[in-house]
Structure 1
Amino acid sequence: MLGLGLGNTLEWYDWQIFGLLAAVIGPHFFRTDTVLEATLATLSVFAVGFVARPIGGILLGGVADRIGRKAVMLWSVGLMAVTTLVIGVLPDVHTIGVAAPIILVVCRLLQGLSTGVEAPLSTAYGVEIMPHDKSGLAAGIISGFVNLGIMVGSLLNFLLSLTLGSAVMSDWGWRIPFWVGAAMGVVVVWLRRSLPETLETSEPEYVGVTRDIWRQVFGRWRSLLAVIFIVGAAQAFNYGWNVGLPNLARSTYGENLTAVFGLTAVLSLFMVLGSPIVGQWTDRWKLGRTFVIGRWLMIPTVFLMLLYTGPGLGGFAAVLLLGAPVLLLNMTLYVVTSTSLFPKGIRAAGGGLGYGVAVASMGGTASYLVVWLGSKGLGWMFPVYAAALALISIVLYRSAREKEGIFVGE
């Protein structure tokens, strides 16, 4: 489980550090007049990286259902490690001009491509190697590794800012987390080399032929549509909380950088410790029931954001941490719930495509929307948007489950 889980850790670590450091990275790669403009430009690049995820889901998901899980999981982590290193050593716009933001965008696109299938495929793999009645525990363990990446990213930024100071962190210290991420990637590739393969060509569910895989995926259009909104609502909630709020605090309200990083690290620690507990609880209460409860709770919770309307670390901390239990419930279960809607032979392709479309259209844009709407005095619009996504996901999940069945967690 270590090699499997740490791939998720690396993915979320990388996206977390890039998102959290947007206000710091921006001035190095974009010629703008204000920190807010530079932050929005960097968050745009953050969102662009998600555009490649559906492509990664289509290309790599089909390959994983045809030739196996292991090779695809090795390739995705390797590419993530290389591009993370490139960002960490990339000269800024004042040194190489317009080439700097172009290379930055290319790296984020390649990272989006490589991670387009990582979360759904690794969760599918975890479910396939665990006993049938332990799918919730598998989801909890994988989610724990995901949250470990978020926590390490937040904690490292906090410690670096605390020891180096905001000036050094803004100058060159921001590069250190990317160097650490590249080193982590090498370790994960080495660990994943020993993973067993879970997809056997002799299994009744094995499809094998690419066109038949995709014919079956699109034949289950209700499940595919449900996955898009199940993932999209969770990702909008997550990136609104983990990236949007911290960047709003820093760029719009001028909160202390070290304090913001410290509070996001506390949130991440709570998520790491809570994920396995939620997974075990889910195995007792059934996946579908627990997922729907968590999704209903998400609707009022996202409106807590409206309490943070001006400078003040107390308000930021209250919103961030009060929403943590519901964020935990949703982030632990959304991928395994999506996985449950597809049979094994098309699970990577269907889950990867739905996941990629969701994070590209709803996840990657969430942090930008939080900051931009907040700067325009329209902060109320994001909670309305996220709540609507949650409600739609409940309706589509119930419809898909009734019409096309469920294959995990019951």
Structure 2
Amino acid sequence: MARAEQHSTIPHAPDRPAPDATPNRWRVIVGAGVGNALEWYDWTVYAIFAPFFASQFFHEDNPASALLSTLAVFAVGFLMRPLGGLFFGWLADRRGRRSAMVTAMIITAVGSLLIGVSPTYPAVGVLASVLLVLARLGQGFGLGGEIGGSHVYLAEMAPRRRRGLWCSSMYIAITCGVLAATLLAAVLTTALGKQAMTAWGWRLPFLLGAVLGFYAIFLRRGLQETDAYVKDKQDTARTSVLRGVWSNRRAAWKVVGLTIGGTVAYYTWSVSATSYAINAKGIDAQQALWAGVAANLVFIAALPLWGALSDRWGRKPNLFLFPIALGALTFPLTGLIQDSAWQLAVSMSVALFVLGSVTSIAPAFNAELFPTRVRATGFAFPYSLAVAVFGGTAPYLQTFLASHGLGYLFTLYSIALLAISFLTAFTVKETKGIELE
């Protein structure tokens, strides 16, 4: 699709297309999305396979304690996301979006490889736990970098009148990663059984993620830089990134407010719902995982619909609709999940369909809040901070409260965060169709 909306008067290097050239849409979408798919595949594999490998990294005398420790490490990985967002945001704003995307992918692939080959607690004791923590810190750092690199890259490469649709592909890629992890878990548990999965089968998805990650590195190296970044780099004086973010601090706080409701909903319904159903509700593991596959297919179908609608009616209707609808449905959907996989499938499908209204536009809308010279840092740091504090702790908090018969408190907590996102939506201006220059 021609980028007729974005014109540039700067000279172009021989290996860059002219400003009015047609970008290879699928090359851009796949190149930006493949890293997110693989990084979220790695991330979700950890959450889903935690019940199988918890005893391999922590003392197995108390299975419940080992699982909670494993989920705590899941949350620890999120602590690195704000640092990753800050570092890779700076790298993307100073060295280019492509450099940030490639470097982030390298770090995440190495983290996945380390988990896949790590020795177990019975073999090396606490060293196994330490290696797991280090790998998760690295993955969290790299995933924080994806926001400043690939999300901004896709937003800047998209035609401004179809930016919502193009950027919805980012969460399609993310969900494909989640779906691949869930599908692989369903296949492996069916083929190998619980004993083999606990003994060695859990290593397979991490090793596969590492192999695919190194392939994605070479794919991203072939992408061109965005016109918005190149133009800004040549036409403006370079100022401190942190100073630039500070001058846009109101936009940064809006990113936080709009993110917290959606991130807890995403990790609750897309990432940890199957693990919660298996451990807290006693649903058969195989059936729960297949229910997760079905629900994520619904999510994938909903994303381009919501993205295209935002290009037609604006971003703000999506921002208002999501917290109202999901806030009203949270208690009924949570209560529906009892002891059957079909209940889990229905609840997840409805929640993820509604969630698609906000996740589809997040890369576009958050990028539209900031000027080019600080767009990656301004978007990535507050977004990663909100996800780390609220999203990263969601699986642990949900499991902990459910284990003490207080699951309703987590539901109330989720609704309160949705209310904050709803109120924040009143403070933002409509950004549909603006130029990212």
TM-score range, shorter chain: over 0.9
Distance 2:405 2:359 in 1: 28
**Which segments of 5 or more consecutive residues in structure 2 lack a partner in the other structure?**
1-28
The answer (yes or no) to whether the contact 1:74–1:189 under 8 Å persists in 2 is: yes
Alignment pair present for 1:188 and 2:211: no
Q: Is structure 2 residue 411 aligned with structure 1 residue 370?
A: no
Q: CA deviation at 1:301?
A: 2.5
8 A contact 2:89–2:377 mirrored in 1:
yes
C-alpha distance in structure 2 between counterparts of 1:37 and 1:302, whole Å: 28
Secondary structure class of the residue paired with 1:377? coil
In structure 2, the partner of 1:133 is: 161
Tell me, yes or no, if structure 1 residue 153 matches structure 2 residue 186. no
Equivalent residue number for residue 50 of structure 1: 78
Matched, 1:292 2:308: no
1:34 corresponds in structure 2 to 62
1:373 Cα shift?
A: 0.9
Q: 1:375 to 1:191 in 2, by over 3 A?
A: same
Out of 189, 195, 198, the position equivalent to 1:167 is 195
- Match 2:232 to one of 203, 213, 218: 203
Partner in structure 2 of residue 12 of structure 1:
40
Partner-residue secondary structure (3-state), 1:394: helix
Measured after TM superposition, the shift of residue 326 of structure 1 is 0.8
Q: Which amino acid aligns with 1:351?
A: F
Q: Following the alignment from structure 1 to structure 2, what is the Cα–Cα distance between the partners of residues 112 and 407?
A: 31
Question: Residue 114 of structure 1 aligns with which residue?
Answer: 142
- Would the alpha carbon gap of residues 72 and 173 (structure 1) be closer, same or farther in structure 2, given more than 3 Å must change? same
Q: 1:379 to 1:314 in 2, by over 3 A?
A: same
Q: How many Å apart are 1:225 and its aligned residue?
A: 1.1
Mean alpha-carbon deviation: is it higher for 43-52 or for 287-296? 287-296
The two structures, once aligned, show a CA RMSD in angstroms of 2.1
Q: 2:359 aligns with which of 299, 312, 331?
A: 331
Quote the residue 1:71 is aligned against. Answer: 99
CA deviation after TM superposition for structure 1 residue 176, in Å = 0.8
Please list the CA deviations of residues 280-323 of structure 1 after superposition, one character each: whole Å capped at 9, or x if unmatched.
22211212222222232121122235415753334333322332
| Structure 2 residue aligned with 1:261 | 289
- For the 8 Å contact 1:66–1:207, the answer to whether it is kept is no
By how many angstroms is 1:26 displaced?
Answer: 0.6
Preserved CA contact (<8 Å) 2:89 2:380? yes
User: Which structure has more RCO (C-alpha within 8 Å, separation ≥ 6)?
Assistant: 1
State how far apart, in whole Å, the 2-side matches of 1:206 and 1:149 are.
38
Distance 2:334 2:36 in 1: 31
Kept in 2: contact 1:341–1:408 (CA 8 A)? no
More divergent stretch after superposition (310-319 vs 227-236) = 310-319
Superposed structure 1 runs of 4+ greater than 4 Å apart: 204-208, 405-410
Does the aligned pair in 2 maintain the 1:166–1:257 contact within 8 Å?
A: no
Hey, what does 1:394 align to over in structure 2? 422
Task: Please say which of residues 331-340 and 341-350 is displaced more in the overlay.
Answer: 331-340
Q: Taking every aligned residue pair, what percent have the same amino acid on both sides?
A: 32
Q: Could you give the per-residue CA deviations for residues 265-288 of structure 1, whole angstroms, max 9, x where no partner exists?
A: 111222223222222222112122
1:360 aligns with 2:375: no
